[in-house]
Amino acid sequence: MEAIGRLSKKMTAAWQGEAGRRARQRWARLLFPLLSAAALAWFLVRVLPKPIRATYPCQRAAFPLASAFVIWLLGIKSGWLAWLGWKRWREALRPAGLVCGAAGLCALVALAAGEMARLSGPLPGPQLGWTPGDPPNSPMGTAKGIFPGRVVWMRDTNATPWNGTTGHWWDDETGVKQAAVDRMLAASLQALTAATNNAEAWARIFRHFNATHGRGDTGYRVGETVAVKVNCNNNYSGYGDVDNQIDAAPQTVRALLRQLVYEAGVPQENILVYEAVRVVPDRIYEPCHAEFPGVVWLDSLGNGSNGRQPPDWHTNAFNYSTNNTGCGRNIPERVFQATYLINMALLKGHWRAGVSLTGKNHFGSIDKPYHTYAQVWELPMGTYNPFVDLLGARALGGKTLLFMIDGLYGVLEVQSYVDFSTAGWTNLFGGGWSASYFLSLDPVAIDSVGLDFLRSEFGDRLASGHNANADNYLHEAALAGNPPSGKPYRPDGTNLPSLGVHEHWNNAALRQYSRNLGATNGIELVKLEAATQPAVAITTPPGGAVLPGVGPIKVQAAVVEWASPVSQISFFANGSLLAAATGGAREVLWTNATPGTWSLTAVATDANYHSVTSAVVKVVIISLTPPVISRFALTNQNLELTFTTTVGSRYGVEQSESLRPAEWTSVGISQVATGTSLSVLVPAPAAPQRYYRVVVLP
């Protein structure tokens, strides 16, 4: 110990003497170039392959040292060239190797200087990026949903008050306001289903799912499990992750749990929230678990004692429709056993897939999420894409009850930190946050809309420039049975049908799809924008509907109230007042409809006399002979109905157990009349009494 002490004293004395002073000066002179060179190397290695990383805090810290090093190198280079000129530098550089080496050094320095200068300046505004190959308003595929092809877009800037610098974007009240988020989700659900309250909206969603999946005309039944796939891709720090990279908003997860438990009537223990290959951080888990202690959570680090369950993998849950995808076929057993699934994605670009929406969200449901067939900028249109198998597989997309995109803070890249350079929507929203939710029952339609928003906002910056062909998987999904790739999708052994409808909007200013323009196919975008005034949208009849001119037609609106309640909704057809709904009502009856093309609008007025007008909904009224059932007959356990028809019109049959039900149920018949009468077979009723009616279909 004494020897060590003496050595320490000698080193200290030497460092403090004249020799030590000179040593410190030499080290100080070396410290700057060493640290700066390291900063430059780190900056170039990280940023050149993926420029979006220039916005990361570590790169922002490295940039000043790196840029100073480049300036220092340029100074050395200038002095060196001057010295060479004095020493007859032309003769010295005659050997080809030295010339090439000097040129290479200059090129490297120039490249580094130019790249850092480009990245250090203000990020550019929206640039013209990839243009889709299919023209605007050219729908393909078969629309899905209660109202086929409907996507609800809800935007409310009251939900996102964050100033961009203080705290975190996900902080309660200062980052995201829970009350506004709850209101946004409720309004979106009601607009999606044309329901007047949340419970009715969920009842319609469950009934529609079960009716279209061979489960009968029934709603949610106690004991059935609802799995919720959230997106927490950027939680690299584990449960304690508190950075500002984009992930699922805690408030959005909590709002959905409130809807499922309080409005849909799903017991907490029958709800599973999961992220199979990432973790659900404490900032999401803790507030949600405090309010809903019975909800089950699952993630990649779950062990049963940390509040999360482990992903006990169900092997070979489905297949991929081509070989060597590199993707896993195993999904968590609890997800495999779930009856329903809710796909809660994020609004963001992705430097491999172009965009990361509901299609890519299931890369967090499988054990090996590889990108072999998802690197869109490297692959041409008409290429197989595994997202289609994930969206169509019975164990995943095939059991999806609801598709949702959380776009409170939409970003240009998957690993973006939320700030105004990566999440400020300059082109579409004047530099503000996207502050949006998107809901649909059609997985292709909702991702088509999300893609249009992202590409129109960020242009060529989207996904670090890797956005070309980002809609390839949407073409493949819309035409899944006979896709452009020529490889029919068969995740469960049989060809998938169309998974939904795809198209691009007409332009970024009007944001209209085919059904918004009066067509009978394509996407219908229902818009609800609330900020300092109410928002209103017509939900019934849907855009592009063809309606018979017999009997009254219900015209209904969804409303988002702001500072004060909406006191009146006035409905107009081609500019003429139809009727006004007051006292909390949201619908009127159109009693004098005549044949022709009609543009419907609604004007909502609140108690403070603020008013807002809805987007136009175009419908067509046709002249028809009202169908009349003229004959009933029992034939081999089926009931044969004969009714009057108009040639070329499409008819359906609906049933009920009461004469004046709140809602009639379709028996699944859709036939076009070729004469003045039509006979159809329906299953014989099992109930003591059953009522039937014939309706004209679009």
* pLDDT tens-digit series, residues 666-695: 887 888 888 888 888 888 776 667 888 888
125 domain residue, yes or no: no
The pLDDT, as a whole number, for residue 607 is: 84
CA angle 367, 368, 369 (to 5 degrees): 115
The pLDDT, as a whole number, for residue 75 is: 57
Q: Identify which has the larger pLDDT, 630 or 59.
A: 630
The pLDDT, as a whole number, for residue 104 is: 47
Mean pLDDT of 414-431: 95
Mean pLDDT of 428-447: 97
pLDDT class for 19, splitting at 50, 70, 90? low
Final residue before a domain boundary, out of 91, 120, 149: 120
540 and 432 share one domain: no
pLDDT class for 284, splitting at 50, 70, 90? very high
pLDDT class for 57, splitting at 50, 70, 90? very low
290 and 406 share one domain: yes
460 and 435 share one domain: yes
Pick from 450, 223, 440, 249: nearest CA to 340: 223
Element at 4 (helix H, strand E): helix 2-16
Mean pLDDT of the chain: 85
Q: Are 629 and 642 in contact (CB under 8 A)?
A: yes
Q: What is the dihedral of CA 461, 462, 465, 466, to 10 degrees?
A: 180
pLDDT class for 117, splitting at 50, 70, 90? very low
154 domain residue, yes or no: yes
pLDDT class for 634, splitting at 50, 70, 90? confident
The pLDDT, as a whole number, for residue 546 is: 87
pLDDT in tens, 205-257: 999 999 999 998 899 999 999 999 999 999 989 999 999 999 999 999 999 99
Phi-psi region of 525 (alpha: psi -120 to 50; beta: other; left: phi over 0): beta
526 domain residue, yes or no: no
Q: How many CB atoms lie within 10 A of CB 344?
A: 22
**For the chain, percent of residues with pLDDT exceeding 70:** 80
Which token pair is 125? 């505004």
> Which distant-in-sequence residues (6+ apart) come within 8 Å of 160 by Cβ?
169, 175, 176, 177, 408, 409, 433, 435
97 domain residue, yes or no: yes
Mean pLDDT of 615-624: 89
- Whether the per-residue pLDDT at 98 is higher than 80: the answer is no
641 domain residue, yes or no: yes
pLDDT class for 100, splitting at 50, 70, 90? very low
Q: What is each CA distance from 219 to 84, 239, 244, 406, 495, in whole angstroms? A: 85, 36, 39, 26, 28
57 and 103 share one domain: yes
**Number of domains, the chain:** 4
- Whether the per-residue pLDDT at 148 is higher than 80: the answer is yes
593 and 636 share one domain: no
Final residue before a domain boundary, out of 463, 490, 517: 517
Q: Are 227 and 299 in contact (CB under 8 A)?
A: no
230 and 276 share one domain: yes
How far is Cα 418 from Cα 55, in angstroms, rounded to an integer?
A: 10
Range with the poorest average pLDDT among 399-408, 447-456, 520-529, 626-635? 626-635
The pLDDT, as a whole number, for residue 47 is: 54
The pLDDT, as a whole number, for residue 42 is: 57
User: What is the sign of the dihedral through the CA atoms of 329, 334, 337 and 339?
Assistant: negative
pLDDT in tens, 373-415: 988 889 999 999 999 999 999 999 999 999 999 999 999 999 9
How far is Cα 663 from Cα 41, in angstroms, rounded to an integer?
A: 67
- Whether the per-residue pLDDT at 523 is higher than 60: the answer is yes
584 and 661 share one domain: no
614 and 633 share one domain: no
Most confident segment among 45-54, 119-128, 151-160 = 151-160
The pLDDT, as a whole number, for residue 628 is: 86
- Whether the per-residue pLDDT at 61 is higher than 70: the answer is no
Q: Identify which has the larger pLDDT, 638 or 184.
A: 184
**For the chain, percent of residues with pLDDT exceeding 90:** 63
Q: Identify which has the larger pLDDT, 113 or 578.
A: 578
What is the CATH number for 603? Answer: 2.60.40.10
> Which distant-in-sequence residues (6+ apart) come within 8 Å of 24 by Cβ?
15
SS3 152: strand
Q: What is each CA distance from 543 to 128, 513, 556, in whole angstroms? A: 30, 10, 12
The pLDDT, as a whole number, for residue 323 is: 87
Mean pLDDT of 7-30: 51
217 and 358 share one domain: yes
388 domain residue, yes or no: yes
The pLDDT, as a whole number, for residue 511 is: 97
pLDDT class for 18, splitting at 50, 70, 90? low
The pLDDT, as a whole number, for residue 297 is: 98
Which token pair is 172? 């309660």
This prediction's pTM: 0.78
Distance of CA 641 to the CA centre of its chain: 44
- Whether the per-residue pLDDT at 601 is higher than 80: the answer is yes
Pick from 692, 645, 638: nearest CA to 673: 645
Mean pLDDT of 604-624: 89
Mean pLDDT of 173-192: 97
Q: Identify which has the larger pLDDT, 645 or 336.
A: 336
How far is Cα 407 from Cα 454, in angstroms, rounded to an integer?
A: 10
- Whether the per-residue pLDDT at 130 is higher than 90: the answer is no
What is the residue whose two structure tokens read 């056993």? 337
The pLDDT, as a whole number, for residue 644 is: 86
Return the bridge partners of 612, or none.
Answer: 604
Distance of CA 525 to the CA centre of its chain: 14
For residue 579, give its domain range. 532-622
214 and 361 share one domain: yes
Mean pLDDT of 499-505: 98
Phi-psi region of 487 (alpha: psi -120 to 50; beta: other; left: phi over 0): beta
Mean pLDDT of 269-295: 98
The pLDDT, as a whole number, for residue 283 is: 97
The pLDDT, as a whole number, for residue 118 is: 37
> Which distant-in-sequence residues (6+ apart) come within 8 Å of 101 by Cβ?
none
Mean pLDDT of 163-169: 96
- Whether the per-residue pLDDT at 633 is higher than 90: the answer is no
> What number of residues does the chain have?
698
pLDDT class for 321, splitting at 50, 70, 90? very high
Range with the poorest average pLDDT among 65-69, 119-123, 324-328, 680-684? 119-123
DSSP 8-state code for residue 240: G
75 and 153 share one domain: no
Final residue before a domain boundary, out of 573, 599, 622: 622
Mean pLDDT of 632-659: 82
How far is Cα 172 from Cα 250, in angstroms, rounded to an integer?
A: 9
The pLDDT, as a whole number, for residue 30 is: 58
pLDDT class for 199, splitting at 50, 70, 90? very high
Q: Identify which has the larger pLDDT, 63 or 602.
A: 602
The pLDDT, as a whole number, for residue 107 is: 45
354 domain residue, yes or no: yes
525 domain residue, yes or no: no
Residues 294-310 as b or e (16 or more Cβ within 10 Å = b):
ebbbbbbebeeeebbbb
pLDDT class for 434, splitting at 50, 70, 90? very high
How far is Cα 448 from Cα 470, in angstroms, rounded to an integer?
A: 10
The pLDDT, as a whole number, for residue 363 is: 96
- Whether the per-residue pLDDT at 93 is higher than 50: the answer is no
Q: Are 197 and 190 in contact (CB under 8 A)?
A: yes
- Whether the per-residue pLDDT at 1 is higher than 50: the answer is no
331 and 411 share one domain: yes
SS3 578: strand
The pLDDT, as a whole number, for residue 65 is: 56
Range with the poorest average pLDDT among 75-79, 268-272, 274-278, 360-364? 75-79
The pLDDT, as a whole number, for residue 128 is: 66
DSSP 8-state code for residue 626: P
pLDDT class for 40, splitting at 50, 70, 90? low
Mean pLDDT of 346-357: 96
